């Protein structure tokens, strides 16, 4: 039965709604706070060849765009003759999944009237997979946790009990992880049910016609956007902290008639510690950066992503191969868009934002009863992962967003959720004045945080920060964002990355980085400067010395704030 263009468009929109419900089911049922509170997940539907038809709006580009390549690996590993109704497959393979062992990808075949019509897939970040724990301290992937190759979680509806026993025996939070695996499988089932309802409603026996419609229109629209661009080549570069030594990311961007190629030749080699990035994850963010700038309104699928190509020599930190340690691959991956934008800004000025905080400002706290003195009887062991964000870079027409993660899109966890997960205390969490880089458009603010533990506990603090030595750079005369700082409350220095012991009663003091500014600060609208001052985003000193606000105007703002009068 053939369908009209209008009918196919309705079905396409319906598919996007189906996978969004799939993702929301995962948010509601997941055990890990990283999924429930931060939205560190992805969900999508695929055709019988493993090509992504649609993705959920909820989720991260690193997961979604990496997962776009993953389903084909599942089909190859499982074998088409071994795919049955009621099956569920899973893996946390960094190179055939989404980049590190802490992400589990679950794939479920979808059958309609006894025939395979497609697949649903989803990914979630789990708090613990054993090994050294979430952090960059490992020297190889073997140290970073339990590895589960592509295999069957369930066959014809029956869960593999042996697999579950092995997983439970190798992780610190077994109930949480097993619960997450069931949540991943369940959300795929929700997607499957909604798909079958849709196919019945539109009298579809398969998805071939709909897939052709989605791919043809997406490919054509994306190529039109690329064809309208200048045929130019530019090179972008940035330096970030790395683990012990700085890392250089370099990309040469070439805009062709029907593709854009990001070539990372010249990027630093693989690091000895776990900040290395498998190519699948770096590619996900390189494609995402370009799609945001060039074709943001075209839905993500296999065809709309295909014209954005990424190449990198094996052994570079953006194409780390097995057995390189990759636990914190997101740190490198999240800086890929700013590197790509450094090149794209030379070709399309006035389009891309200034640099932002880049990678998520995450930390994990491994709590245990104090060992310096007898611990209270209610002291416990616990693993608490906290997702936090610095400021986003200023945009050509707008200020940067405060404490907002770009490019990952992962949400900051509420204090209540973090403290509910274990005996951790967040003593302070507030915006950091003057951390947003000055400019005609101001960079987004970072945050101040103070982290401690409940009475009777000590902890290891696993730092996952960057921008300590290399703050975000401005564009077109904009100033840099504030750098990351980390120290104990007794003045003891701490490193930006790695597991570090914090004794009983001590706190970790964090200043998370700000985004950079865009344009000359002297060109900033005076009303905007006054508004920033009234809100506490900038100090009186910065308002006067950087933006040129007069002492009289500063006094007027102070008086207005005292009276509770809103600033225009």
**Does the bond joining 407 to the residue before it have cis omega, within 30 degrees of 0?**
yes
User: According to the model, what pLDDT value does residue 40 have?
Assistant: 87
Helix/strand/coil for 259: coil
348-401 pLDDT per residue, tens: 999 999 999 999 999 999 999 999 999 999 999 999 999 999 999 999 999 999
Average model confidence (pLDDT) for the chain?
A: 96
Measured CA distances, 288 to 300, 314, 456 (Å): 9, 21, 45
Q: Can you tell me the distance from the alpha carbon of 76 to that of 118, in angstroms, rounded to the nearest whole number?
A: 15
Q: Can you tell me the distance from the alpha carbon of 259 to that of 287, in angstroms, rounded to the nearest whole number?
A: 11
Sign of CA dihedral 273, 274, 278, 280: negative
Do 512 and 449 meet the contact criterion of CB atoms below 8 Å apart?
Answer: yes
Give 191's Cβ-side CA count (13 Å radius). Answer: 35
pTM for the whole structure: 0.95
User: According to the model, what pLDDT value does residue 322 have?
Assistant: 97
Q: Can you tell me the distance from the alpha carbon of 262 to that of 249, in angstroms, rounded to the nearest whole number?
A: 12
Q: Is the pLDDT of residue 509 over 60?
A: yes
298-340 pLDDT per residue, tens: 999 999 999 999 999 999 999 999 999 999 999 999 999 999 9
Residues facing residue 502 across a β-bridge = 459
Structure tokens at 376: 């209270």
Domain ranges in the chain are 5-219, 353-524
Q: Which residues contact 27 (CB under 8 A, 6 or more apart)?
A: 35, 36, 39, 41, 58
Q: What helix, strand, coil percent values describe the chain, rounded to 5? A: 30, 20, 45
Structure tokens at 67: 């997962």
Q: Can you tell me the distance from the alpha carbon of 397 to that of 393, in angstroms, rounded to the nearest whole number?
A: 12
Contacts of the segment 224-227: beta carbons below 8 A, 24+ positions apart:
225/294, 225/295, 225/298, 226/255, 226/256, 226/257, 226/258, 226/259, 226/260, 226/294, 226/295, 226/307, 227/257, 227/258
User: According to the model, what pLDDT value does residue 207 have?
Assistant: 97
Q: Is the pLDDT of residue 3 over 90?
A: no
Q: Is the pLDDT of residue 557 over 90?
A: yes
N-to-C CA span, the chain: 60
Q: Can you tell me the distance from the alpha carbon of 401 to that of 404, in angstroms, rounded to the nearest whole number?
A: 6
The candidate with the shortest Cα–Cα distance to 460, out of 377, 381, 359, is: 381
Q: Is the pLDDT of residue 62 over 60?
A: yes
Helices (H), 472-525: none
User: What percent of the chain shows pLDDT beyond 70?
Assistant: 99
Q: Cα 535 from chain centroid? A: 29
User: According to the model, what pLDDT value does residue 2 have?
Assistant: 63
Q: Is the pLDDT of residue 564 over 90?
A: no
Per-residue pLDDT band for 68 (boundaries 50, 70, 90) equals: confident
Q: Can you tell me the distance from the alpha carbon of 180 to that of 182, in angstroms, rounded to the nearest whole number?
A: 5
Q: Cα 195 from chain centroid? A: 27
Per-residue pLDDT band for 434 (boundaries 50, 70, 90) equals: very high
What's the average model confidence in pLDDT over 449-474? Answer: 98
227-284 pLDDT per residue, tens: 999 999 999 999 999 999 999 999 999 999 999 999 999 999 999 999 999 999 999 9
Q: Can you tell me the distance from the alpha carbon of 37 to that of 384, in angstroms, rounded to the nearest whole number?
A: 13
183-235 pLDDT per residue, tens: 999 999 999 999 999 999 999 999 999 999 999 999 999 999 999 999 999 99
Q: Is the pLDDT of residue 1 over 80?
A: no
| Torsion region of 149: left, alpha or beta (phi above 0 gives left; psi -120 to 50 gives alpha) | beta
Phi, psi of 213 (to 5 degrees): -65, -45
The candidate with the shortest Cα–Cα distance to 64, out of 10, 11, 121, is: 121
Per-residue pLDDT band for 39 (boundaries 50, 70, 90) equals: confident
What's the average model confidence in pLDDT over 103-117? Answer: 97
143-165 pLDDT per residue, tens: 999 999 999 999 999 999 999 99
User: According to the model, what pLDDT value does residue 32 have?
Assistant: 87
Q: Which residues contact 318 (CB under 8 A, 6 or more apart)?
A: 249, 264, 267, 277, 279, 282, 312, 332, 333, 336
Phi, psi of 67 (to 5 degrees): -65, -25
What's the average model confidence in pLDDT over 90-97? Answer: 96
Residue 440 gets which letter from DSSP?
S
What's the average model confidence in pLDDT over 515-539? Answer: 97
The candidate with the shortest Cα–Cα distance to 263, out of 277, 283, 284, 242, is: 283
Q: Can you tell me the distance from the alpha carbon of 361 to that of 17, in angstroms, rounded to the nearest whole number?
A: 31
């Amino acid at each position: 039965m053939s369908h009209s263009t209008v009918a196919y468009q309705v079905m396409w929109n319906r598919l996007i709604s189906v996978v969004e419900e799939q993702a929301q089911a995962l948010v509601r049922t997941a055990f890990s706070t990283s999924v429930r509170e931060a939205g560190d997940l992805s969900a999508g539907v695929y055709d019988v060849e493993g090509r992504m038809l649609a993705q959920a709006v909820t989720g991260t580009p690193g997961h979604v765009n990496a997962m776009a390549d993953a389903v084909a690996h599942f089909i190859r590993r499982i074998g088409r003759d071994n795919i049955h109704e009621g099956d569920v497959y899973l893996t946390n393979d960094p190179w055939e999944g989404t980049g590190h062992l802490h992400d589990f990808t679950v794939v479920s075949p979808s059958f309609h009237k006894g025939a395979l019509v497609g697949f649903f897939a989803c990914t979630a970040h789990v708090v613990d997979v054993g090994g050294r724990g979430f952090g960059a301290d490992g020297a190889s992937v073997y140290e970073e946790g339990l590895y589960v190759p592509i295999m069957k979680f369930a066959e014809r509806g029956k869960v593999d009990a042996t697999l579950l026993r092995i997983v439970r025996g190798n992780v610190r939070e077994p109930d949480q992880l097993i619960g997450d695996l069931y949540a991943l499988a369940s959300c795929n089932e929700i997607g499957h049910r909604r798909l079958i309802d849709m196919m019945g409603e539109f009298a579809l026996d398969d998805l071939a016609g709909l897939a052709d419609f989605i791919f043809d229109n997406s490919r054509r629209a994306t190529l039109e956007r690329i064809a309208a661009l200048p045929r130019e080549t530019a090179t972008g570069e940035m330096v970030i902290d790395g683990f012990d030594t700085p890392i250089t990311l370099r990309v040469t961007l070439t805009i062709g008639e029907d593709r854009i190629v990001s070539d990372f030749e010249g990027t630093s080699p693989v690091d000895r510690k776990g900040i290395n990035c498998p190519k699948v994850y770096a590619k996900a963010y390189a494609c995402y950066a370009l799609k945001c700038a060039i074709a943001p309104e075209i839905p993500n699928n296999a065809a709309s992503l295909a014209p954005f190509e990424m190449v990198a020599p094996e052994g570079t930190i953006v194409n780390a191969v097995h057995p390189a340690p990759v636990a914190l691959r997101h740190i490198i991956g999240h800086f890929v868009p700013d590197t790509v934008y450094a090149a794209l800004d030379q070709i399309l000025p006035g389009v891309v934002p200034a640099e932002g905080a880049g990678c998520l400002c995450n930390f994990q706290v491994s709590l245990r009863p104090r060992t310096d003195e007898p611990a209270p009887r209610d002291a416990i062991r616990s693993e608490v992962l906290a997702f936090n964000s610095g400021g986003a870079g200023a945009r050509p027409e707008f200020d940067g967003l405060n404490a907002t993660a770009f490019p990952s899109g992962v949400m900051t966890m509420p204090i209540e959720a973090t403290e509910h997960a274990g005996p951790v205390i967040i003593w302070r969490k507030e915006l950091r004045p003057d951390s947003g880089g000055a400019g005609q458009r101001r960079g987004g603010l970072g945050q101040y945080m103070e982290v401690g533990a409940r009475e009777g506990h000590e902890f290891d603090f696993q730092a996952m920060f960057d921008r300590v030595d290399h703050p975000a750079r401005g564009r077109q005369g904009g100033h840099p964002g504030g750098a990351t700082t980390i120290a104990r409350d007794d003045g003891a220095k701490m490193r930006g990355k790695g597991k570090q012991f914090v004794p009983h009663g001590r706190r970790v003091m964090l200043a998370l980085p700000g985004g950079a500014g865009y344009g000359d600060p002297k060109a900033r609208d005076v009303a905007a400067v006054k508004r920033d001052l009234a809100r506490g985003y900038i100090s009186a000193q910065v308002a006067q010395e950087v933006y040129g606000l007069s002492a009289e105007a500063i006094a007027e703002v102070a008086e207005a704030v005292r009276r509770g009068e809103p600033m225009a």
